[in-house]
Chain A
Amino acid sequence: MPFELISGSQAVAIAVQRVGVDLVAAYPITPQTAIVETLASIDAKGELGGEFVSVESEYAALAFCKGAAAAGARVFTATSSHGLAYMHEMIHWCSGARLPIVMVNVNRAIGAPWCLDPDQGDSLSQRDTGWLQIYCSSAQEVFDTVLQAFALSEELLLPSMVIYDGFYISHTYEAVDVPEKQIVRRFIGPPVFPAQVKPGSLGNLHGLTTSETQLGLIRRRHEDMLRAPALFDQINDRFAQIFGRRYKVIDSVIPPGSKTVILTVGATAETVRWCLPKLKDIGLIQLRMFRPFPAERLGSLLKAHEVERVVVIDRNCSVGMGGIFAQELRAAIYGMTNPPAVDDLILAGGVDLTVKMLENMLDSRSAESRVGQKWGTDLQ
């Protein structure tokens, strides 16, 4: 298969071209811009296969997607940081309206003050909006996940957010297997999900309703989203047959006898993976799917390996509470027999993980019974 040296963001644009979308709504923001620019250059060559529309804001981009997806069109948009925050109301609406929109978010810190580094607070601020969230750790994974996100969303009728770190993945060039369009077509064909707006028929779509009806709709959305991990596995079975590689909801490298594991997402997981041979008896859990939260699978994995300590690396911070992945993990293991201790290394602001920082974090436990929260800059 053809390998190309491309950035994570170029990988997104090519994946979108390979899937074949009816419409792209584009608005630039650092560090997402390369996605819309690459899509524009694909369009300029007449190879997009759909319409590329430059709109007036991120809010407009997602509102545009809502209208188009309601007509049954396959749509894509991408954003980052403030752009995602600006979309917030529409993010809720697109999920409530059950529209299978795929959006990429490139993690970047939210102000004030201005900061461009890959804090995850932008996407994690949207965790309760009813979108699937998948965090990627390489350009190849980004390419593949965009293809898979369309398949997931169109089956579940729920929108998906494909997420990766700004700069570390968006701007880093890697060798990516970029299959031709006809091969991708074997994995995902033209959209077949139902149109909501059907001219010639009646339909009062998403109009005012009662709390009881709303409860029923939220419950159905919740239950449908919980189908995502099993569906993700099925989709990857099919994906592996065509492309020869597959992904898991939770990826893990836990050497026998390791009682401590590091749990993280995205590019940070790649850093830890690289460090593992240097670290003694330490395992890695890379959480790929964050919404729905794979609590059962995570619990089983920790139990099976009799993990005693989980060090979570959170490139985010819910101010007043702490790292969000650590909080989600604590909630997931509550009530478990012999639950592992959870320590949290906070790299909010998008601070890069260094080997020294990681070693200090792992060592810090010997002095204290429980570490709790540590700030990355204290461990350098």
Chain B
Amino acid sequence: MKIDELNRESEMIYSGHNACPGCGAALAVRYLTRALGTNLAVVLTASCWSIIAGMPPFTALKCPVLHCPFPSAGSVGSGLKRGLNAKGLQDTTVIVLAGDGGTFDIGLQSLSGAAQRNEDYIFVCYDNEAYMNTGMQSSSATPYGALTNTAPYPLFKEGQKKDIMQIMAAHGIPYAATATVAFPEDMEEKLKKAKEISGFRFIHILSPCPPGWGTESSDTIHLSRLAVATGFFPLYEVRNGVNWKMTVPTDEKRIPLNDYLSGQRRFKKMDEPRRQILQKEIDRDWESLMKRVNNSK
């Protein structure tokens, strides 16, 4: 996409927001809101975006933003959508925006409840793989072997990253998809599809965090692309929990995971055995995903 092809009129994010340079989450929201039109209302749970949105009366988004406590996003979104319906405002698209903490960890119960009820809104998780707003502490989205401030050297993060997409698919929701800022057309297309579907929709966006991951702000797009090419973060969609489909083809011979890890400070001290464990985990998850994709054909 060329820069002058962007439809700036429909962009819902103002310049001058509070995100760090190179923030994947700021870019992600820019792309996703562009796909959804202007009749939006955003529920924002405790996360980096609580800060990026600015201090009232200032605002970074050209639509109403309703802040809410950390575990509550899924439920507040449910109430807001049904409340707007009760007021005759059925046409407003409600987006719930949460980080990985507000999705994988403390927000999982309200997310699961809303998905089970098939609430009619779009839940967007921008996943920077740790509690970045509080200064990089481990979450259940932090990859195995990463260093965080609650898993400092020589501890390393234990346990595998929670597979949130399988969890959401298991709810049988009409639409779930992964996306990255390296593939904005893919993201936009998925959001457009999501907008046309009613019921619960879940978008999982990998969101590089330069200060947390220890990368250059100019690396965000490159890293997002490597995450896809290594199979660390494949791009796909799931319909009704059973119909799995790749949206951006990844070569079966994925490039080695080390190519993705090596540019990031959080993986710098990771030893070879740990790298192999993580590579195996990614290989296993890739094969499992391919089975689901092939079974859906």
Query: Which residues from chain A sit less than 8 Å from chain B, CB to CB?
Result: 22-23, 25, 50-51, 53, 55-57, 59-61, 63-73, 75, 89-90, 93, 195-210
Please provide the chain B residues from 194 to 240 with a CB less than 8 Å away from any CB of chain A in the complex: none
Please indicate the chain B residues that have their CB under 8 angstroms from the CB of A206 in the complex.
Answer: 56, 66-68
With contact pairs A59-B72, A197-B84, A199-B40 given, residues A207 and B65 touching in the complex (Cβ less than 8 Å): yes
Most buried by A among B54, B69, B83: B83
Contact for B75 among A60, A89, A207, A209, CB less than 8 A: A60
Q: How far is the CB of B9 from the nearest CB of chain A, in Å? A: 15
Q: How far is the CB of B281 from the nearest CB of chain A, in Å? A: 30
Q: Chain B 66-109, CB within 8 Å of chain A: the 1/0 string?
A: 11110110111111111110110100100000000000000001
| Binding-face segment, B111-119, B145-153, B159-167, B170-178 | B111-119
Q: Is B273 an interface residue (CB 8 A)?
A: no
Extra pairs beyond A63-B71, A200-B39 (13, CB < 8 Å): A23-B83, A57-B113, A63-B76, A67-B78, A68-B80, A73-B83, A75-B83, A197-B83, A197-B84, A200-B38, A203-B64, A204-B60, A207-B59
Q: Is B41 an interface residue (CB 8 A)?
A: yes
Check if B67 sits within 8 Å of A56, measured CB to CB. Answer: no
Chain A residue at minimum C-beta to C-beta distance from B67: A206
Most buried by A among B50, B56, B75, B113: B75
Check if B64 sits within 8 Å of A205, measured CB to CB. Answer: yes
With contact pairs A23-B79, A73-B82, A199-B84 given, residues A93 and B92 touching in the complex (Cβ less than 8 Å): no
Chain B residue at minimum C-beta to C-beta distance from A25: B79
Q: What is the CA–CA distance of A204 and B60 in the complex, to the nearest angstrom?
A: 8
Q: What is the CA–CA distance of A119 and B75 in the complex, to the nearest angstrom?
A: 29
Contact for A71 among B60, B83, B116, CB less than 8 A: B83
Chain B residue at minimum C-beta to C-beta distance from A70: B66
Q: Is B57 an interface residue (CB 8 A)?
A: yes
Q: What is the CA–CA distance of A61 and B57 in the complex, to the nearest angstrom?
A: 29
Q: What is the CA–CA distance of A41 and B48 in the complex, to the nearest angstrom?
A: 43
Check if B79 sits within 8 Å of A68, measured CB to CB. Answer: yes
Q: Is B277 an interface residue (CB 8 A)?
A: no
Check if A89 sits within 8 Å of B53, measured CB to CB. Answer: no
Check if A66 sits within 8 Å of B76, measured CB to CB. Answer: yes
Q: What is the CA–CA distance of A66 and B81 in the complex, to the nearest angstrom?
A: 11
Q: How far is the CB of A186 from the nearest CB of chain B, in Å? A: 23
Check if A56 sits within 8 Å of B110, measured CB to CB. Answer: yes
Q: How far is the CB of B170 from the nearest CB of chain A, in Å? A: 15
Contact for B113 among A55, A75, A204, A208, CB less than 8 A: A55
Check if A56 sits within 8 Å of B109, measured CB to CB. Answer: yes
Please indicate the chain A residues that have their CB under 8 angstroms from the CB of B26 in the complex.
Answer: none
Please indicate the chain B residues that have their CB under 8 angstroms from the CB of A22 in the complex.
Answer: 82-83, 86-87
With contact pairs A56-B112, A70-B66, A198-B64 given, residues A63 and B72 touching in the complex (Cβ less than 8 Å): yes
Q: Is B155 an interface residue (CB 8 A)?
A: no
Q: What is the CA–CA distance of A203 and B56 in the complex, to the nearest angstrom?
A: 8
Check if A204 sits within 8 Å of B65, measured CB to CB. Answer: yes
Please indicate the chain B residues that have their CB under 8 angstroms from the CB of A53 in the complex.
Answer: 78, 82, 117
Q: List 11 A-B contacts (CB under 8 A).
A: A55-B117, A60-B110, A63-B79, A66-B79, A69-B79, A73-B87, A199-B40, A199-B92, A203-B65, A204-B65, A208-B55
Check if A204 sits within 8 Å of B84, measured CB to CB. Answer: no
Q: Is B62 an interface residue (CB 8 A)?
A: yes
Chain B residue at minimum C-beta to C-beta distance from A89: B69
Please indicate the chain B residues that have their CB under 8 angstroms from the CB of A75 in the complex.
Answer: 79, 83
Check if B75 sits within 8 Å of A67, measured CB to CB. Answer: yes
With contact pairs A63-B75, A207-B53 given, residues A93 and B69 touching in the complex (Cβ less than 8 Å): yes
Check if A67 sits within 8 Å of B51, measured CB to CB. Answer: no
Chain A residue at minimum C-beta to C-beta distance from B44: A207
Q: How far is the CB of B115 from the nearest CB of chain A, in Å? A: 10
With contact pairs A50-B86, A71-B87 given, residues A202 and B79 touching in the complex (Cβ less than 8 Å): no
Q: Is B248 an interface residue (CB 8 A)?
A: no
Q: What is the CA–CA distance of A204 and B116 in the complex, to the nearest angstrom?
A: 29
Please indicate the chain B residues that have their CB under 8 angstroms from the CB of A59 in the complex.
Answer: 71-72, 75, 109-110
With contact pairs A71-B89, A199-B40 given, residues A204 and B76 touching in the complex (Cβ less than 8 Å): no
Chain B residue at minimum C-beta to C-beta distance from A93: B69
Most buried by A among B44, B54, B60, B69: B69
Most buried by B among A50, A69, A70, A207: A207
Check if B64 sits within 8 Å of A72, measured CB to CB. Answer: no
Q: What is the CA–CA distance of A195 and B84 in the complex, to the nearest angstrom?
A: 9
Q: Is B63 an interface residue (CB 8 A)?
A: yes
Chain B residue at minimum C-beta to C-beta distance from A199: B92
Please indicate the chain A residues that have their CB under 8 angstroms from the CB of B50 in the complex.
Answer: 207-208
Q: Is B43 an interface residue (CB 8 A)?
A: yes
Q: What is the CA–CA distance of A71 and B87 in the complex, to the nearest angstrom?
A: 7
Please indicate the chain A residues that have their CB under 8 angstroms from the CB of B112 in the complex.
Answer: 56
Please indicate the chain B residues that have their CB under 8 angstroms from the CB of A73 in the complex.
Answer: 82-83, 86-87
Check if A202 sits within 8 Å of B59, measured CB to CB. Answer: yes
Please indicate the chain B residues that have their CB under 8 angstroms from the CB of A60 in the complex.
Answer: 72, 74-75, 109-110, 113
Q: How far is the CB of A58 from the nearest CB of chain B, in Å? A: 11
Chain B residue at minimum C-beta to C-beta distance from A213: B56
Please indicate the chain B residues that have their CB under 8 angstroms from the CB of A200 in the complex.
Answer: 38-39
Q: How far is the CB of A302 from the nearest CB of chain B, in Å? A: 41
Check if B64 sits within 8 Å of A23, measured CB to CB. Answer: no
Contact for B64 among A66, A69, A199, A210, CB less than 8 A: A199
